[in-house]
Structure 1
Amino acid sequence: MKNTVWTNPFTVFLLAFLCCALWGSAAPFIKFGYELFSIDTSQTGQILQFAGARFAAAGILVILVGSFVFKHALVPEKQDIVPVLVLAFFQTAGQYFFYYIGVAHTTGVSAAVITGTGAFIALLVAALVFRYEKLTMLKTAGCVLGFFGIWILNGMKTGSGFSVSGEGLVLVSQLFSAFSAAFIKLFSQKRNAVLLSGYQFLAGGIMLSAIGIAMSPHSTLTMNWQGGGILFYLAFVSAAAYSMWSYLLKYNPISKIGMYECWIPLTGVLWSAILLQEISQALSWNTLIALLCIILGIRCVNKEDTI
């Protein structure tokens, strides 16, 4: 693999941390969006319309900025159609169909912690399905440790316990995320990662919107300037983070980039604790132990086999 700015350790560190910090902020801002758009969280159609608007806007943003940076219009060619549609299904439509519904039925802290399992699921998919990685004993132990953390967070917590419609769907969304990471690695080797990112967001956003409208044909989003600001921020999160992450995956091993995913639950818990005032849950023993298990698991998963 040739050396580029995308493989420089310091650059990788900064960009990966920025991506994770942006992703960590998504859950609380999605919840703010539900309030500002007067979305009834029991109406899945409204939720998906909101998600679709976000990703369609993100796609347009990526395409416009990418066209400016590359100094020519980013227009997909015939050979780009299949990769764009595959990524749109896994990375946007599939992943966020489950994520948005799950976030509506769980706390921001729980959603943030469960998102940390993405590193383990991505490893399993890369090793068992795409054969990009080797599943060593240490990596297997890391996966077990990470999922043990999720069990502590949900299976052992007092109150309602594990919710299939909440924590369960957030977990399912990470499976789609894992497949999307593997496909990004595959498709971006010979194609413009920014072009793929922009058009898959646009296509995925249209898919989500179409499903949402079909499910709630007589319900439309109520726009106001505050809601518009939230929508723009969420679109920016997707456009910036996924574009940078795609390039990091293109030039680095999946497991090397995956090690930085431990910051997603950490930053997500901090964002939710502060913005959603979920401090009591963020500081509870089960959340802290779950975070520790996930972080240690990610470290095990990404430890060099020679160490």
Structure 2
Amino acid sequence: MIRKLVSNKIFASLTAIFCCALWGISTPIVKMGYNHIDEAHVPSLLLWVGIQFIVAGFLTIGIYSIFSKKILLPKKENVKGVVIVSVLQTVLQYALLYIGLSQTTSVKGAILKSTDVFFVALIASLIFKMEKLTAKKLISCVIGFLGIVIMNLDGLSFNMNFLGDGLVIIGILSYSFSVIMTKLFAQKENPIVLCGYQMGLGGVVLSIIGFVLDGKFDFVGMLPIFVGLSLIYAVSYTLWTILLKYNPASSVTIYSFMTPVFGVIFSALLLSEDGGVAIVNLIIALVLVCIGIILWGYEKGNKNCTKQ
């Protein structure tokens, strides 16, 4: 029943868009949090995001355990998978991204982060042989990526910062591999259990790193933002993991192009700012991203996306 529902193309698309909307709305919420933390101090950011993931993991496992009427634990043989996904998706991705973004511009960071769609498609097809890399997929990626570039065109600099940009790219590579690992290990483990424990474990590691390096922030002033982000991460990553279990990895990550678009829209609505993005650029970006997604998912006479 769950497989049939989640692998339905319309349901999967709406769920993926919902996840991207949640990540998009986290952008202005994170900016609000910068009023209570030194955003230039990486250890403080790692401590902050680490505790968020601890809470997100606790909420995910706790709520699901209540509904299941038992404490949910990963199977002994799947603990290794939880650790691998946690290291790749939570620890390395966020540590490298936060350090890298502190050394480069937010515009370049947004564009570089959008390359995860390319990386997932390449890794899934060329390394793990899980999917076929077709011309249609590559064209879809290029169209969607072009939309993100156009959206950020006004603030784009072509000067390469090898430390900052390089760390962001490595962080995105780590996330891309984690997508594939999540799909593989989710076949053997309950995706909610996998997601909850990997977030919690990764959060502990990030928190320890941040604390040891003298990270600190205004916890009381941050509390509402803290709770909001933890809920967003718990819901979005859990749904994303379920989608990856029942659908081709690249067919899920193609929707990641929507995240920065939602980020700009929600920032304009909640913070009365547009981040310097012209409305024309935003509209063109949204159209191109939608075209890329539609082109990717179009299969004549096929309503499910479990096969490609």
Deviation at 1:34, TM superposition (A): 2.2
Deviations 1:89-125 (A, max 9, x none): 1111111123344566777776556544332222122
Contact residue 27 and residue 112 of structure 1 kept, 8 A: no
Whether 1:137 aligns to 2:135 is yes
Unaligned ranges ≥5, structure 2: 303-308
CA 270–101 in structure 1, closer or farther in 2 if over 3 Å, else same: farther
Tell me, in whole angstroms, the C-alpha distance in 2 between the residues paired with 1:120 and 1:54. Answer: 28
Aligned-pair identity (%): 37
Contact residue 97 and residue 167 of structure 2 kept, 8 A: yes
Deviation at 1:27, TM superposition (A): 2.0
1:237 aligns to what?
232
2:8 aligns to what?
8
Deviations 1:224-272 (A, max 9, x none): 1x41111111111111111111111111222332343333222122012
Tell me, in whole angstroms, the C-alpha distance in 1 between the residues paired with 2:134 and 2:228. Answer: 40
Contact residue 105 and residue 166 of structure 1 kept, 8 A: yes
1:265 aligns to what?
260
Q: Which of the numbers 217, 223, 247 marks the counterpart of 1:221?
A: 217
Whether 1:246 aligns to 2:241 is yes
Deviation at 1:11, TM superposition (A): 2.9
1:277 aligns to what?
272
Amino acid at match of 2:223: G
Deviations 1:156-184 (A, max 9, x none): 64576567476765554332222111111
1:127 aligns to what?
125
Tell me, in whole angstroms, the C-alpha distance in 2 between the residues paired with 1:208 and 1:3. Answer: 33
Indicate the RMSD between aligned Cα atoms, in angstroms.
Answer: 3.2
Unaligned ranges ≥5, structure 1: none
**Partner SS, residue 5 of structure 1:** helix
Deviation at 1:292, TM superposition (A): 4.9
Tell me, in whole angstroms, the C-alpha distance in 1 between the residues paired with 2:62 and 2:145. Answer: 40
Amino acid at match of 2:250: S
Deviations 1:7-56 (A, max 9, x none): 234432332222111011122212222212xx222221111111111111
Q: Which of the numbers 54, 58, 65 marks the counterpart of 1:56?
A: 54
1:92 aligns to what?
90
CA 256–146 in structure 1, closer or farther in 2 if over 3 Å, else same: closer
Tell me, in whole angstroms, the C-alpha distance in 2 between the residues paired with 1:18 and 1:153. Answer: 21
Amino acid at match of 2:130: Y
Tell me, in whole angstroms, the C-alpha distance in 2 between the residues paired with 1:104 and 1:21. Answer: 24
**Partner SS, residue 4 of structure 1:** helix
Tell me, in whole angstroms, the C-alpha distance in 2 between the residues paired with 1:206 and 1:99. Answer: 17
Whether 1:180 aligns to 2:178 is yes
Tell me, in whole angstroms, the C-alpha distance in 1 between the residues paired with 2:14 and 2:23. Answer: 14
Deviation at 1:195, TM superposition (A): 0.8
2:187 aligns to what?
189
Tell me, in whole angstroms, the C-alpha distance in 1 between the residues paired with 2:234 and 2:73. Answer: 17
Contact residue 40 and residue 46 of structure 1 kept, 8 A: yes
Deviation at 1:151, TM superposition (A): 5.3
1:207 aligns to what?
205
1:30 aligns to what?
30
CA 90–182 in structure 1, closer or farther in 2 if over 3 Å, else same: same
Count the aligned residue pairs.
301
